[in-house]
Amino acid sequence: MGVSMDTARTWVERWERQQQRYAVDREERFTVICDIVEHVCATRARPLLLDLGCGPGSLSARLTCRLPDAEIVAVDMDPVLLELGRTHHADAARYVDAVIGEDGWTDALELRRSVDVAVSTTALHYLPAPVLLETYRSLAALLRPGGALVNGDHFPPDTRSCSDLTAHVGRRRAERAGDHGHEDWESWWTAAAADPELADLFEQRERSRTPSGGGDGNRHLPVCRHTELLHQAGFSHVTPVWQVGDSCVLVALKD
C-alpha cells in the first residue's frame, strides 16, 4: 500500500496549491502559528507538539523547519492524506490514524509526556459544538502547565452583517493573490482518486469513512463562543493574535 516518493510529492504539491483557495493568506497564517509555537517553547529543549487534523503534513513540515529539535505527533483520520504525509514529509512527524473527538482518541496518540503546544489549521470546524467542547477538554488535559492550543481557521464574527463583511474582505484578498487560479478541493480529490497508485488507499478511505453527524460542525461559532468553550474546558487565557477577513489564529493558554 506504499506510495512512491514521486507520487507523494506530486499530490502534496497539488494539495498545497489547492488549499490556497480556501485559507486566506495561508502561508502567513502558518508563519504566525510557527511564531507562537517558537515563543511558547523557547525554554524547552525538545518540545512535544501535537498537529491536529494534519492532512499530508503541511503544518508539521513547517514546524520542523522552524523547530528542528521538536518531537511532532500528527493525527488525522484520512488514510490517503496520512500516507502522503508519511512518504513526502517522513521526517517531520510521527503520523497517527485517529478520529479527533471520538471516545478514546487521545489513547491512540501513545504520548509519554505532556504536550507543549497543540496546533491545528482548518481541521476542528467539522466537530459539532458539544464534541468540540470535549475535544478542548481532552487537549487541556494533554497540555503541560503553560502550554497552548493554537487554532488557525475561519471564524465568523458575532453578527451576520459583520460576517458578510469579513467574508468579502477574505474573498477579495484571495482574488488579489490569484489563489483562485488553482484547482479546487473537489477537483483534487477526483484527480487523486484516478491515480492507480492511490487506489488501495482510496478503498481504505471509503471503508473507514466516519459520518460526522454534525451538519456544518461548528463553522457558525464566532470567536467569542470558542472562547467560552475554551474557558469551560480549562484554558485560562484566550485571544486572537492574527486575522485577515474571517481567517484567524486563536490562541488558548493553560495556566
> pLDDT tens for residues 123-135?
999 999 999 999 9
Domain annotation covers residue 88: yes
Handedness of CA 241, 222, 17, 209 (dihedral sign): positive
How far apart are the C-alpha atoms of 78 and 1, rounded to whole Å?
14
Question: Which domain CATH number covers 221?
Answer: 3.40.50.150
**Mean pLDDT to the nearest integer, 68-75:** 98
Q: How far apart are CA 166 and CA 219, in angstroms?
A: 14
pLDDT band at 215 (very low <50, low <70, confident <90, very high): low
Q: Strand locations in 59-212, DSSP E?
A: 71-76, 94-97, 115-121, 143-154
Cell of 139: 487537549
| Contact criterion met (CB below 8 Å) for 58 and 13 | no
DSSP 198: G
Write down the pLDDT at residue 237. 97
Strand bridging mode 48-52 / 71-76:
parallel
Place of cell 481532552: 138
Averaged pLDDT of the chain? 92
**Taking the model in full, what pTM does it have?**
0.92
- 213 in any annotated domain: yes
Q: Is residue 202 part of a domain?
A: yes
| Measured distance CA(216)–CA(121) in Å, rounded | 17
Q: How far is CA 6 from CA 3, 18, 94, 181, in A?
A: 8, 19, 21, 24
Parallel/antiparallel/unpaired status of strands 115-121 and 48-52: parallel
Place of cell 468553550: 229
Tell me how crowded residue 80 is: count the other CB atoms within 10 A of its CB: 22
Whether residue 64 is contained in a domain is answered as: yes
Q: Is residue 160 part of a domain?
A: yes
Residue 153 maps to a domain: yes
Give φ, ψ of 46 to 5 degrees: -140, 80
How many domains does the chain contain in total? 1
Backbone angles phi, psi at 9, to 5 degrees: -60, -45
pLDDT digits (tens, 9 = 90+) for 77-111: 999 999 999 999 999 999 999 999 999 999 999 99
Q: What is the pLDDT of residue 212?
A: 43
- The DSSP symbol for 102 reads S
Is there a domain that residue 108 lies in?
no
Edge-to-edge order in the sheet of strand 247-253: 94-97, 71-76, 48-52, 115-121, 143-154, 247-253, 237-244
How many C-beta neighbours within 10 Å does residue 97 have?
Answer: 14
Quick count: other Cβ atoms within 10 Å of Cβ 105?
A: 16
For residue 107, tell me if it sits in a domain. no
Give the structural domain span for 132: 5-99+115-253
